Structure 1
Amino acid sequence: MSMQIPGPKPRTGLLGSLDRFIGPGATTAELVLQLIPPVVAAIVAPAYAMTLSIPWTPVQLGLIAILGFDLLGGVLTNATAAGKRWYHRSGQGWRQHLGFTAIHLLHILLVSLFLRGGDVAFFAGVSLYLLSAAAMIIWAPLYLQRPVALGLYGLALLGDRYWFVPTPGLEWFLSFFFLKLLIGHLLHETPYLPGEKR
């Protein structure tokens, strides 16, 4: 299934690399939303972790900072009109969306290895749910994608609370992780233009 949303093309050079990441044609307001809150998250997330009586290593604190930046940044970027136009442009079908989602298995692996002491059950359970939920959203009829995604996100929140022991210092991880991917990235939504009225 390929959803076609017209939009500007990426620029050349370094700015083009940015365009391919956040979507070409991002407004100043979208850029601010995609940069400032994630930077704050990259500072606050490890600062919060350091309030716990856990002997963190620099690698662990660095990973927490990166995850804070990436997940909040991903939630916001995937929600912008520029991001929607780019990630749901012509040629972006189920393979691309599932591939983008699968790349994030690395996040789960890193959390499992460095912050959960090599928790294989966490890695396997979260990975299987992520890929299964993504496939269900991708192949749902367009008019049902939003309720399917929200229902699956709700199940992810329940699993986070009642199935897995929360990751100390990273209790927010799965909430933002699934919000970024199931709700933010996968849902095809109208990319409104600045000043557009309902």
Structure 2
Amino acid sequence: MEKNTKIMWDYKGKPDFINGTGAYLEEKIIGYAGSIVIPLLLAYFIFTSKVEWNYFQMITAFLIAFDIGGGMISNSLNSAKRFYNSSVKKDEGITGIFLKNKWLFSLVHIHPFIIGIMFDSGNWLYGLKWYILFLLAVLIVNLAPLYLKRPISMLLILFANLLNFYFILPIPGFDWFIPFLFLKIITGHLVKEEPYRKANSIH
């Protein structure tokens, strides 16, 4: 381990359900930077007519892109790994109980249904296929022993990418969706990893 870092599980401060309580400024900047990358790509698609969406579809697509892109990065932050792999504290309330439950947090990611129905003429089958596969991956990683969670999660992401590229083809404008959804949840949220902190940090 580098001399200027240490492993720290304890944290204090106002609950931060996005980046993890106690996140450094630079961690927050990196997390929020991730949230604007895909929306910028979608803006390019819209202005160059690569996709033809109405205003409601545009808003929905931007919200999904913000959530998936930002969440993929934020879930990998040391502050988030510390926060989401620690017990719920009293001041985190019902929100903490819900978001720190890896099953519940995963279940609410119904994005595949939204994308299939709204952007592919009511294609609920696309959503059903991916939602089932996604929850199956969640189940496998949650049941895996700690020392195998990370490699198993990466194996599942490999399978998901291949399915997305060659078998359950992506909906136009959302080629990025499945790979990043799996990175956000299957590795980012579900895999417990040592959270590093600056060596001079008190909490």
Q: Normalized against structure 1, the TM-score is what?
A: 0.85
CA contact (8 A) 2:37 2:69 kept: no
Matches of 1:116 and 1:61, distance apart in 2: 14
Q: Which runs of 5+ in 2 are unaligned?
A: 1-7, 89-96
Q: Which runs of 5+ in 1 are unaligned?
A: none
CA RMSD of aligned residues (A): 2.1
Q: Which residue of 2 aligns with 1:99?
A: 104
Deviations 1:72-128 (A, max 9, x none): 1001110001100111112589x81011111102x1121011112111221111011
Match of 2:12 among 9, 20, 43: 9
1:140-159 mapped onto 2 (5 Å cutoff): 140-159=144-163
2:126 counterpart of 1:122: yes
Q: State the one-letter code of the partner of 2:156.
A: L
1:159-178 mapped onto 2 (5 Å cutoff): 159-178=163-182
Shift of 1:23: 0.9
Matches of 2:47 and 2:122, distance apart in 1: 21
Aligned residues: 184
Matches of 2:149 and 2:51, distance apart in 1: 41
Matches of 2:22 and 2:50, distance apart in 1: 45
Structure 1 ranges of 4+ moved more than 4 A: none
Q: Which residue of 1 aligns with 2:92?
A: none
